[in-house]
């Protein structure tokens, strides 16, 4: 009896062997086509779970496949290691963020290595190491020289738990994306990256991203939000002031019934100086974050200033001037005019404050007499009315006509604006990249001289008080001005951690280079050929990385403007959830049953309630540790299972039964290989010219499967890839008498199976490959080529119809002569019965598929 496959021996053996061979070390080679595959690098939070592994596994399958195809593959791994969780852990454990972070990195590195992932570990980097963030400081100074970094006082999203500023994208439903705390507005001096300078270029670049998911492209397009419209000047009747408003709907000006300013508009602040009620209103508005989504969901509130603006087209027609909580200072000009009849937000506001609702557009299938606004605004296209010189025009015609009139009156002009806002990169925390700027009382704000970089974080910090430890450090922030050489202070804000992930893909090309980026290495490796990560990064990280690439290309650091050629947004891994009756989450491994068959927590017998399937998450404890699977079933079981049931971009349900099923399947393949070995011909044996029908069929199956597997991996249809593996292994397992099949044909088929399964289950594949006597490991073995002629079916099944109804089938040679097809179809007994004495009017043939006999 064949020896059983022992994954506990095989997996560490082959991992050590690959390491000794340097199998995954990447070096530039102009003679070979390159392939750079990259998964979004992880935050070292402590332990990875199976949900994380799927992301890395997808990239690993592609990396191994491309290497076998002869590509020069770069597949690196590193750690996105700065961020607030490390500070929180330091507070909780009375330790240092660096200790917590590097300890987690070691744990997670070992976990990833145990999965047999084909990484070039010599390129490993951690963004919290001064060897990384020191170069980031150099890039900061480069962008500062380009005028892309500036400092201004502005309202920001303040997380009172994190004691830090959040970007708009980090505010979800009015709460901090990590802490869950209700976000407030505060006015602070912040550093900004001028991403808006590249708004149009970022928008146009989306058209070149043919291998990105359409939904990601759409999300970025909407976030950039290009808008064409009019900039209109409204004169304030009672004051020597003008309110400038941007609107995409100048066609609705005749329906305007109010104007509104942002609570943070300069005129608002001026009016509030002598108005306590307005001050109180502004303070109330500041309790809502500046995130657009939160403002949209909030109740629409307004404050009537008592002032009015003059309508640009209607002489002596005045519009009341409000301060409104839904008007964003950072979008457009921080002021709007409201046309309630044709905008949902304005309609809601007008109803609340009993303002006029005058329709100026009616549907094209109604008249101005019959059309009425009742319970909701009309927001579709139509025909203008109640609008003097715009009457009878379509919406688009009216827009152009209104802008032309505004220009003639010198009250406005046509402009283009963007929803995208500059990126606030200041964070009031310790565990981040120090911003390399100096504040001098005499000279102002100056960059740190490059020869003083890196500005390293101090190690002697305490977290006993809230806020930024750098700001209260006894010595670190005190320095000398590089210009006047008098006492000065360092900038104590650190960079948003999204800055680190905006250029790491370039650093991986030469992680030990003495400059931030090697032009030679990046010119060879970039762009990343395949990038893999979650859809949640569609707007944040991916947009920032695209911006960085353009800015760095301008600074001659990079030659490519788009960093990621192809993108796969992988689906989530879901698992059952369990809770006690007190709503305490329970790990699946801690759930058992009592004598009555009820679910209980093993540790204390507390009754457990089974919940719904949810994304694997540590907070819900519905996670499965990879080491649990590797110990019981092996890494290859987890690897194959995670790509087996769902396309990579869809969610995948993890079940213990599913993992057990894969483990049994892999053991069947091992047994199959052992059973084939006595009947295999030597390596040198050639396939004879004359074969039996069974041998021909076996070769056809082997080459067809190899073709289908190759196409499936290339297209990321990994679940189909696994299905083809199963189909082929089942076919081989059903062969009756191996002694009657040519040994060279058997060897070809079995080796095709082993090579095909290798990207998914490399340990098992290497073990089987070696057992066949191969001196060269699979990792250094080329992907075989299939013979196209053998992938074609030699016979086809023809459906025979009479007047379009199926009446029979027959099997014939592929591409059979039409005359023979007609004769065979007409000779079928059932067809003859149906036709009877009727005359055949014509016969329609769809080659290799259908013969349709049309009778009178």
Q: Residue 165: pLDDT above 80?
A: no
Does 614 share its domain with 685? Answer: no
Eight-state DSSP code of residue 91:
H
Residue 397 falls inside a structural domain: yes
Higher-confidence residue of 622 and 57: namely 57
Dump pLDDT digits (tens) for 53-92: 999 999 999 999 999 999 999 999 999 999 988 888 888 8
Q: Residue 813: pLDDT above 60?
A: yes
Distance CA 111, CA 99 (A): 19
pLDDT value at position 325?
92
Does 386 share its domain with 246? Answer: yes
pLDDT value at position 294?
64
Residue 336 falls inside a structural domain: yes
Does 402 share its domain with 443? Answer: no
Distance CA 727, CA 160 (A): 57
Read off the pLDDT of each residue in 529-541 and give the average, rounded to a whole number. 92
Read off the pLDDT of each residue in 25-45 and give the average, rounded to a whole number. 96
Residue 264 falls inside a structural domain: yes
Contact 335, 261 (CB under 8 A): yes
- E strands within 651-728? 652-653
Closest CA to 38 of 659, 531, 766: 531
Dump pLDDT digits (tens) for 708-747: 999 999 999 999 999 999 999 999 999 989 999 999 999 9
List of residues 6+ apart from 664 with CB closer than 8 A: none
pLDDT value at position 583?
77
Residue 103 falls inside a structural domain: no
Domain boundary among the residues 495, 522, 537 is at 495
Distance CA 418, CA 415 (A): 10
Residue 768 parent element (H or E): helix 762-771
Helix, strand or coil for residue 175? Answer: strand
Sheet with 72-74: strands ordered across: 72-74, 34-39, 530-533, 567-569
pLDDT value at position 748?
96
Does 749 share its domain with 687? Answer: yes
pLDDT value at position 771?
95
Read off the pLDDT of each residue in 314-330 and give the average, rounded to a whole number. 93
Which structure tokens are listed for 425? 């990169």
Residue 824 falls inside a structural domain: yes
Does 473 share its domain with 488? Answer: yes
Q: Residue 611: pLDDT above 90?
A: no
Residue 338 falls inside a structural domain: yes
pLDDT value at position 628?
85
Contact 599, 576 (CB under 8 A): no
245: CATH: 3.90.740.10
Closest CA to 341 of 372, 310, 311, 365: 372
Alpha-carbon distance values, 219 to 215, 420, 809 (Å):
6, 12, 50
Higher-confidence residue of 432 and 795: namely 432
Which residues is 447 bridged to in the sheet? 437
Q: Which residue has the tokens 């070995």?
A: 677
pLDDT value at position 96?
93
List of residues 6+ apart from 519 with CB closer than 8 A: 556, 557, 558, 559
Does 630 share its domain with 686? Answer: no
The number of angstroms, rounded, from the C-alpha of 772 to the middle of its chain's C-alpha atoms is: 42
Q: Residue 169: pLDDT above 70?
A: no
836: CATH: 3.10.20.590
Does 778 share its domain with 813? Answer: no
Dump pLDDT digits (tens) for 356-402: 999 999 999 999 998 999 899 999 999 999 999 999 999 999 999 99
How many structural domains are present in the chain?
5
pLDDT value at position 1?
41
Dump pLDDT digits (tens) for 442-465: 999 999 999 999 999 999 998 877
Q: Residue 555: pLDDT above 70?
A: yes
N residues, the chain: 856
Distance CA 227, CA 204 (A): 14
Residue 757 falls inside a structural domain: yes
pLDDT value at position 196?
95
619: CATH: 2.20.28.290
Q: Residue 574: pLDDT above 60?
A: yes
Residue 444 parent element (H or E): strand 444-447
CA dihedral 265, 268, 273, 277 (to 10 degrees): -130
Does 259 share its domain with 190? Answer: no
Residue 602 falls inside a structural domain: yes
Q: Residue 188: pLDDT above 90?
A: no
Q: Is 465 exposed, middle or buried (0-12, 13-18, 19+ CB in 10 A)?
A: exposed
Dump pLDDT digits (tens) for 269-310: 999 999 999 999 998 888 776 666 666 677 899 999 999 999
Does 250 share its domain with 391? Answer: yes
List of residues 6+ apart from 260 with CB closer than 8 A: 302, 321, 322, 323, 324, 327, 335, 336, 337, 338, 349
pLDDT value at position 653?
83
Identify the weakest region by mean pLDDT among 119-128, 555-564, 609-618. Answer: 609-618
Does 754 share its domain with 622? Answer: no
Rounded to two decimals, what is the model's pTM? 0.85
Percent of the chain whose predicted confidence (pLDDT) is above 90: 73
707: CATH: 1.10.730.10
Identify the weakest region by mean pLDDT among 30-39, 205-214, 694-703, 788-797. Answer: 788-797
- Give residue 157's domain range: 139-194+422-495
Domain boundary among the residues 474, 495, 516 is at 495
Domain boundary among the residues 464, 495, 526 is at 495
Does 360 share its domain with 232? Answer: yes
Does 235 share its domain with 150? Answer: no
pLDDT value at position 292?
65
Helix, strand or coil for residue 153? Answer: strand
Contact 116, 637 (CB under 8 A): no
């Amino acid at each position: 009896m064949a020896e059983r496959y022992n994954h506990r021996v095989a997996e560490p053996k082959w991992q050590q062997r690959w390491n000794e061979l340097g199998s995954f070390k990447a070096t530039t080679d102009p003679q070979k086509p390159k392939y750079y595959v990259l998964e979004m690098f992880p935050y070292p939070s402590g332990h990875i779970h199976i949900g994380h592994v799927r992301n890395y596994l997808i990239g690993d399958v592609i990396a191994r496949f491309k290497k076998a195809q002869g590509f020069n593959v770069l597949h690196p791994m590193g750690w996105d290691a700065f961020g607030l969780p490390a500070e929180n852990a330091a507070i909780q454990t009375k330790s240092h963020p660096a200790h917590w972070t590097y300890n987690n990195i070691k744990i997670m590195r070992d976990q990833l290595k145990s999965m047999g992932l084909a990484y070039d570990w010599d390129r490993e980097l951690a963004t919290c190491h001064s060897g990384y963030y020191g170069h980031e400081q150099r890039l900061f100074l480069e962008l500062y020289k380009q005028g892309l970094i500036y400092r201004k006082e502005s309202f920001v999203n303040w997380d009172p738990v994190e004691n830090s500023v959040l970007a708009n994208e980090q505010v979800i439903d009015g709460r901090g994306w990590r802490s869950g705390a209700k976000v407030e507005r505060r006015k602070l001096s912040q550093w900004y990256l001028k991403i808006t300078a590249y708004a149009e270029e970022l928008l146009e670049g989306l058209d070149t991203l043919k291998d990105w998911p359409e939904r990601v492209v759409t999300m970025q397009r909407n976030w950039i939000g290009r808008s064409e419209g009019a900039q209109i000047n409204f004169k304030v009747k009672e004051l020597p002031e003008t309110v400038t408003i941007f609107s995409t709907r100048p066609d609705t000006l005749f329906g305007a019934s109010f104007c509104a300013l942002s609570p943070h508009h300069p005129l608002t602040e001026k009016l509030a100086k002598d108005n306590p009620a307005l001050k109180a209103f502004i303070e109330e508005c500041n309790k809502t974050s500046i995130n657009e989504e939160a403002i949209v969901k909030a109740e629409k509130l307004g404050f009537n200033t008592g002032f009015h603006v003059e309508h640009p087209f209607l002489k002596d027609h005045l519009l009341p001037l409000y301060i409104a909580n839904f008007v964003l200072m950072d979008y457009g000009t921080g002021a709007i005019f409201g046309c309630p009849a044709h905008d949902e937000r304005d309609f809601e506001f007008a109803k609340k404050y009993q303002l006029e609702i005058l329709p100026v557009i009616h549907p094209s299938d109604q008249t101005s007499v019959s059309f009425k606004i009742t319970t909701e605004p009309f927001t579709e296209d139509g025909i203008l009315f109640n609008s003097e010189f715009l009457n009878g025009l379509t919406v688009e015609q009216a827009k152009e006509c209104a802008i032309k009139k505004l220009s003639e009156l010198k009250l406005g002009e046509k402009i283009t604006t963007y929803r995208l806002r500059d990126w606030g990169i200041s964070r009031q925390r310790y565990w981040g990249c120090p911003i390399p700027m100096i504040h001098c009382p005499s000279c102002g704000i100056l960059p740190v001289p490059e020869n003083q970089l890196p500005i390293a974080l101090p190690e002697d910090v305490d977290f006993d008080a809230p806020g930024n430890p750098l700001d209260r450090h006894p010595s670190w922030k005190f320095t000398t001005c590089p210009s006047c050489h008098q006492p000065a202070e360092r900038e104590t804000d650190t960079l948003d951690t999204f800055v680190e992930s905006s250029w790491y893909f370039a650093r991986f090309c030469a992680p030990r280079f003495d400059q931030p980026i090697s032009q030679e290495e990046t010119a060879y490796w970039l762009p990343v050929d395949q990038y893999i990560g979650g859809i949640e990064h569609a707007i944040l990280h991916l947009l920032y990385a695209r911006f960085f690439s353009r800015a760095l290309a301008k600074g001659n650091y990079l030659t490519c403007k788009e960093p990621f050629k192809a993108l796969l947004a992988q689906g989530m891994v879901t698992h059952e959830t369990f809770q006690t009756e007190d709503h305490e989450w329970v790990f699946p491994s801690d759930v058992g049953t009592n004598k009555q068959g009820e679910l209980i927590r093993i540790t204390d017998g507390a009754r457990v309630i089974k919940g719904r399937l949810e994304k694997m998450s540590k907070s819900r404890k519905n996670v499965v540790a990879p080491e649990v699977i590797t110990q019981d079933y092996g890494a290859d079981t987890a690897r194959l299972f995670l790509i087996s049931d769902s396309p990579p971009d869809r969610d995948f349900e993890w079940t213990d039964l599913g993992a057990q099923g894969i483990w049994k399947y892999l053991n069947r393949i091992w047994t199959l290989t052992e059973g084939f070995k006595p009947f295999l011909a030597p390596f040198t044996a050639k396939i004879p010219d004359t074969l039996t029908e069974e041998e021909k069929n076996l070769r056809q199956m082997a080459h067809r499967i190899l073709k289908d597997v190759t196409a499936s991996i290339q297209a990321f249809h990994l679940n189909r890839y696994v299905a083809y593996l199963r189909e082929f292994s089942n076919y081989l397992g059903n062969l009756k008498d191996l002694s009657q099949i040519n040994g060279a044909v058997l060897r070809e088929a079995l080796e095709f199976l082993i090579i095909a399964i290798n990207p998914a289950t490399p340990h098992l594949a290497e073990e089987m490959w070696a057992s066949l006597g191969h001196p060269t490991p699979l990792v250094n073995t080329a992907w075989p080529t299939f013979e196209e002629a053998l992938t074609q079916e030699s016979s086809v099944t023809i459906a025979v119809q009479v007047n379009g109804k199926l009446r029979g089938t027959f099997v014939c040679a592929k591409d059979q002569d039409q005359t023979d097809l007609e004769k065979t179809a007409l000779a079928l007994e059932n067809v003859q019965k149906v036709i009877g004495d009727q005359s055949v009017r014509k016969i329609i043939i769809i080659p290799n598929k259908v013969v349709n006999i049309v009778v009178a």
